[in-house]
Amino acid sequence: MDALALTAEALREPWRLWTGHLVHFGWEHALANAVALAVPWILAAPRDRRRLALATLILPPLLSVLLLPSLGGGEYRGASGLVCALWALVGLRLAVRNESALLGLMLLASLLVKLAAETVVGGGVLLRADGWSTLPAAHLWGSGLGLAAALPVQARIRLFRPRRT
């Protein structure tokens, strides 16, 4: 096991909540994640880049905590969950803008096709090097966190505020 990978030890070694997204199963894995992370940064509207930067710092430990029950004694290495979060965040932000709605919908549709394919296949759908394992739960949780992060603050408050009867 890698000393920086996300494992159940993250509850006693909290740095793993961030570092699990930095370590990979090799240079091919790291390169694939780097290219996928670049896409939302390139497509994001300039006014959304601050939100994207904040999400890049805040979402990894939240995602890690959500992934702990899915590890089953194993480990998580890679940024694919964060990639899905940023694709969802940028896709939704672009989709609600008239000038870039089609681009945002294409980004969200691509993410949805990936998630659906993983659900049907029961695991990762991309070719990978030996030892490289996927954790589809990272992609699902990441997408959900990205969609939540894309919502305006007022919408998040209304969504999670208890209703009065």
Predicted confidence at residue 126, as pLDDT, reads 59
Whether the CB-CB separation of 92 and 149 falls below 8 Å is answered with no
Q: How confident is the model at residue 163 (pLDDT cuts 50, 70, 90)?
A: low
Q: Determine the average pLDDT of the residues in 120-144.
A: 76
The pLDDT, as a whole number, for residue 142 is 95
Identify the pLDDT of residue 124.
Answer: 65
CA distance 46 to 2: 37
- pLDDT at residue 95 is higher than 60: yes
**Rounded mean pLDDT of the chain?**
85
Residue-level pLDDT at 128: 58
- What's residue 20's pLDDT? 87
* CA distances in angstroms from 70 to 2, 8, 52, 92, 105, listed in the order given: 18, 10, 26, 26, 29
pLDDT tens by residue, 34-80: 999 999 999 998 888 988 999 899 999 999 999 999 888 888 888 99
Nearest-angstrom CA–CA distance, 138 and 130: 20
pLDDT of 91 reads 94
> Given this model, what pLDDT does residue 9 score?
86
Residue 37 pLDDT: 94
The pTM for the full model equals 0.85
- Going by pLDDT thresholds of 50, 70 and 90, the confidence category of residue 27 is confident
Q: CA-based angle 83:63:68, to the nearest 5?
A: 125
